[in-house]
Structure 1
Amino acid sequence: MKASELRTKSEAQLLQEMNLLKDELFNLRFKQATGQLENTARLKTVKKDIARIKTVLGEMNK
């Protein structure tokens, strides 16, 4: 997910997307703790996507 794509979305859409990613991150961490996670790189990408959304939200609130 690119920051330019995120800037075209509304604040409500970004918050919804961030909540979905946080849920996914929780599930990924749970799978990692139980040894069921196969794609460990997904953890990094989800965290970076959440950070991108937070950055765009911060830009909108300025």
Structure 2
Amino acid sequence: MKLSEMREKSTDELQSAIVEWKKQLFDCKMKLSTHKLENTALVSKTKRLIAQAKTVIKEKADCEQRA
């Protein structure tokens, strides 16, 4: 998901996406520890998605406070 797509989504949608990505991150870490994960870049990509979504949520909260 691109950052521009994240900014269009609501906070609730982003929160549910974060939950899904955290589950995916857990699965990736488990597969990585058992040497069954073929694409190790998934771990960093998933972490980046979670961080970007949290940043967008914080930006939206800051905009609401200023308004």
TM tier relative to shorter chain: over 0.9
Deviations 1:20-50 (CA, angstroms, capped at 9, x unpaired): 0000000000000011110101111111000
- The match for 1:53 is 53
Q: Which has the larger radius of gyration?
A: 2
TM-score, with length taken from structure 1: 0.96
**Counterparts of 2:11 and 2:57, CA distance in 1:** 7
TM-score, with length taken from structure 2: 0.89
| Letter in structure 1 aligned against 2:43 | L
Any gaps of 5 or more consecutive residues in structure 2? Answer: 63-67
For residue 16 of structure 1, report the CA deviation from its aligned partner.
0.3
Q: Which runs of 4+ in 1 moved over 4 A?
A: none
Any gaps of 5 or more consecutive residues in structure 1? Answer: none
| Letter in structure 1 aligned against 2:15 | L
Greater relative contact order structure (CA < 8 Å, 6+ sep): 1
